[in-house]
Structure 1
Amino acid sequence: MKKYVVRCLDCGEIHSSHSLNCKNGDDALLRTDYSTKQLYPADLPGIWRYRDWLPVHDIIEEGSGRTITYRSEGFAAKYGLEDLWIAFNGYWPERDARMMTCTFKDLESFPTMQLIRELNEERIMVVASAGNTARAFAHTCTITGQPLLLVVPGASAHRLWTTHGQNPSVCLVTVDGDYFDAISLAGKIASREGFVNEGGAKNIARRDGMATVMLDATLAMDTLPDHYFQAVGSGTGGISAWEASMRLVGDGRFGSKLPVLHLGQNHPCAPLYSLRSGTDAVDKSCPEGMYDDVLYNRKPLYAIKGGVKDALDGTGGLMYAISNDEATYSQSLFERTEGIDINPAAAVAVAALVQAVEEGNVWHEDRIVLNITGGGQKRLMQDHPVRLIEPSAGVSADDPDAEDRILKIVEEFFGVRL
């Protein structure tokens, strides 16, 4: 029996492991269907303890961390929450949290890279990112030697730091534009000969990697939570949590009720909140002035079958629009009460939980999981030297010759002919 098959959520057609879209043209995500229906963690390091529910057969041992879930005391006491659990993704050695990029995007990059290796893919992988995903893939590709082209908005280049002394397999190009401009340009490059598209949210390995947050939390609590909080940009993390929850319900040992999804965005740059509420939550100046612009994607996965709308509908979920002031307050409070620094995007999730408590969307006795999607960066920099990855070049999103310019840059960087 195969470990898994990949099915279209619309027509049910089975696809290959590397497929990103249904060959029948259906506007739907593909989803992994695993033959193992119950979750038994393996005696393996990091994320690989969940290998049965990852679309890979082998592992990349070096540098791979996992979510660390613990029961909150300090922050929980502040709001009278009796059963709050923190799913921490980042660097916090005192709790054995060792994601060296300080972001849960590591959970996406390692399974994606292992799947690429098992497909014997030697082409240059293309990744578009607002910063955190790029940092995670740069880390993984430096370990494996997989050639990688990163396409990142120029305003996000400061997030491309590394603990590695050199990153010889990583070519970084910045774009004068926003995240969607980077995605569009990266997609055009990836369609050319010699390149392979990493796939973004349509990549099963990325979603199943992020789904391990819910797996870890559920195993730590020995039951599914009542509520799950996370900040989102495209919404992929929320979709992944929903998909994991359905698998856990199917397991039969952790409860039969799906957790309610509570997804936060940063007002006034909150496209998913706008789509859900029917209100104008997106300013023309976006992503300028955001508390964290990694949460802004002007083309999120909302209406596609299997997307954010279905995830919210299926769980009775809610969207939150968080102001910069709310995020600032919540970040400071969390760091003071829990004893670890967190990334700005995670602060938006904390603020969504605060808002939910104040609005009566959760009860004090409810079992709640709060996904801290990134943290411990200040803590890591106390222990390890870091450096910025230098861009090979910058291009404008409006330049009609941008693709050709990038091709020449890549040829020179990797010493290849494309």
Structure 2
Amino acid sequence: MVDSTGKKSWICIRSGQKFPMNFETEWTNWEQLCLDCGEQLKFSADVSSSWESCVTDLPGIWRYLPLIPVNEQNIEILADSSTPELLPPVDAKPLAEMLGVKSVALLPCTEGPSGTFKDVEAAVVIAKCLDWGLQEQPLSWHSTGNTARAYREYAIRAKLQSFSFFPLQCLDKWQGITSNQNHLLLAYNGSFQEISSLAKEYARHNGFLHLAPLHWKLEGKATLAYSIMENLPTTTCIVQTIAGGYGPLGMYLGLQRLQQWEIIGESLPRFELFQIEGADTISKLMPLNRDIQETDLKLPLNPFEPTLQSTNPLATFSVVRNLVCSTSSNIASVSVPEVQAQAESFEQYCREVGVKVSYASEKCPFIAWAGLMRKAKRKELDPNDEIVIIVTGSSQRSGDIPHPDQIINKKS
């Protein structure tokens, strides 16, 4: 394991002044701004321009611990080789033949403790909670299920106390969890649009520290870029289903840092991003060349995939648009029939190569695959493309669906 204690810091872009990774710099300063002049801070890691200085022998995302802005003394609490959040890319030659491209690899992200893609994010967020000394502070968060489920699993490992808010209609996303009275489930019997303000007010009233860590959502996703570039440095295209777009934003952050540290060159992969029709706010707004308004937000009453309900586009639309433009990327909507037509064959292939994914448990990665197949049929992919598909979604859920510890009903 590489010991980089003391080798990481935040640096003011204007003055070059260094700030430590602590509660004052990070928690009270979500925008990552210099505490003296207000200029943007950037993360600094003391690594050389080679992968040898960037990796460890730890499992999951912690392979890239020298590149992650967390202190290292708590990582052994969170790292577990039996449930790695991230595995190396898996070659998928038959999928490349189906798409008519040079190569396709699957990047598995569903073998962590929650069995969902959100584990790569949760691992970093809970590591920061330990960094900030929040062991005695009750924590809370809200989501459609996956983010809260992942945060809860890591909070259990870290011996924290937590409260997870989620829509009652997403209760099945908690199937198979372990009951734990220090980590309670609070289901809201109302619309998802209202859950953020409700959870924050409930937390304020009850003395919880409510985490809605927009910047820190990116840090775990940056490790996906590290894995891709370490293992497949000639990748030309990264594919993912998105809701708010934190996945590609995090990967873009990771790619920019690798350039900054001279580990990779100037040429970056493009992104092919997909949204399901009915929850495709970003895709629909992209061609209109204007800013997003709250009335633009699309959240269907009966969603095809509930975990893709998100109010995040209100915060992310402009930066996702900038990413798409600066990397010559694309974002498109995919219809439900297109997904259904391709789902069984994609799931079967993933199973054959040992990548855990389940259409019954969650449909996210199947949306991206259906979108890719449509582009292939229209001859919109370059035959020389070297594609990496981020396997979001979930592994097969099993076990009982729990009863919420509390149901919060919408006030009439």
Length-normalised TM-score, structure 1: 0.80
Corresponding residue of 1:84: 104
Q: 2:237 and 2:298 mapped to 1: Cα distance?
A: 33
1:208 corresponding residue in structure 2: 219
Contact 1:21 1:29 survives alignment (8 Å)? no
1:258 aligned onto 2:247: no
The 1-side partners of 2:212 and 2:296 are apart by: 28
Equivalent pairs counted in the alignment come to 376
Q: Contact (CA 8 Å) 1:86, 1:372: kept in 2 or not?
A: yes
2:148 is matched with which residue?
A: 134
Q: Alignment partner of 2:392: what SS?
A: strand
Indicate conservation of the 8 Å contact 1:4/1:33, yes or no: yes
Q: Deviations over 1:94-115 (max 9, x none)?
A: xxxx323221211111111111
CA contact (8 A) 2:174 2:402 kept: yes
CA deviation string 1:241-263 (max 9, x = no partner) = 11111122234343321211222
1:288 is matched with which residue?
301
- Contact (CA 8 Å) 2:238, 2:389: kept in 1 or not? yes
SS at match of 1:137: helix
Runs of at least 5 residues in structure 1 that lack an aligned partner in the other structure: 91-97, 400-418
Equivalence map 1:239-318=2 (5 Å):
239-278=249-288, 286-301=299-314, 307-318=319-330
| Aligned-partner residue type, residue 338 of structure 1 | C
Q: 1:153 aligns with which of 150, 167, 172?
A: 167
Do the aligned partners of residues 7 and 262 (structure 1) sit closer, same or farther apart at CA in structure 2, a change above 3 Å counting? farther
TM-superposed deviation, 1:301? 4.9
Q: Does 1:44 align with 2:58?
A: yes
Structure 2 distance, partners of 1:249, 1:388, is: 45
Partner residue in 2 for 1:61: 79
Query: How far did 1:127 drift?
Result: 0.9
Tell me, in whole angstroms, the C-alpha distance in 1 between the residues paired with 2:188 and 2:164: 10
Q: Residues 129 and 312 of structure 1: is their aligned pair in 2 closer, same or farther, counting only changes over 3 Å?
A: same
Q: CA, structure 1 residues 4+192, in 2 after alignment: closer, same or farther (shift >3 Å)? A: farther
For 1:406, the equivalent position in structure 2 comes to none
Structure 2 CA distance for partners of 1:8 and 1:157, relative to 1, 3 Å: farther
Please name the residue that 1:332 is paired with.
Answer: 344
RMSD: 3.1
Q: Which runs of 5+ in 2 are unaligned?
A: 1-5
2:8: which partner in 1? Answer: 3
Counterparts of 1:6-17 in structure 2, within 5 Å, are: 16-17=25-26
Provide the residue aligned with 1:416 in structure 2. Answer: none
1:21-40 per-residue CA deviation (whole Å, 9 max, x = no partner) reads 46799xx9977512235452
Q: Percent of pairs identical after alignment?
A: 19
Please give the TM-score of this superposition, normalised by the length of structure 2. 0.81
Counterpart CA distance in 1 for 2:59 and 2:150 is 18
Specify whether residues 192 and 16 from structure 1 end up closer, same or farther in structure 2 by C-alpha distance, changes over 3 A only: farther
Q: Do the aligned residues in 2 keep the contact of 1:302 with 1:308 (CA within 8 Å)?
A: no
In the alignment, structure 1 residue 377 sits paired with structure 2 residue 386: no
Q: How does 1:153-192 map to 2 (within 5 A)?
A: 153-164=167-178, 166-192=179-205
Is the partner of 2:266 in helix, strand or coil?
Answer: coil
Cα contact 2:43–2:69 (8 A) shared by 1 = no
Cα distance in 2 between the residues matched to 1:8 and 1:330: 47
1:239 is aligned with what amino acid? L
- Choose 105-114 or 13-22, whichever is displaced more: 13-22
Give the 3-state SS of the residue equivalent to 1:388 in structure 2: coil
1:106-125 correspondence to structure 2 within 5 Å: 106-121=119-134, 122-125=136-139
Please tell me the residue identity of whatever aligns with 1:274: K
SS at match of 1:374: coil
Q: Distance in 1 between matches of 2:40 and 2:400?
A: 37
Shift of 1:81: 2.5
How many angstroms apart in 2 are the aligned matches of 1:190 and 1:172? Answer: 13
- For 2:26, what is the secondary structure of its paired residue? coil
Give the letter aligned to residue 194 of structure 1: G
How far apart in 1 are the matches of 2:113 and 2:83?
8
**Distance (Å, rounded) in 1 between the aligned partners of 2:280 and 2:224:** 23
Is 1:33 the equivalent of 2:46? Answer: no
Asked whether the 8 Å contact 1:270–1:296 carries over to 2, the reply is no
Deviations 1:274-311 (A, max 9, x none): 2212399x999832343212112244155677x21222
The equivalent position to 1:323 in structure 2, one of 335, 342, 363, is 335
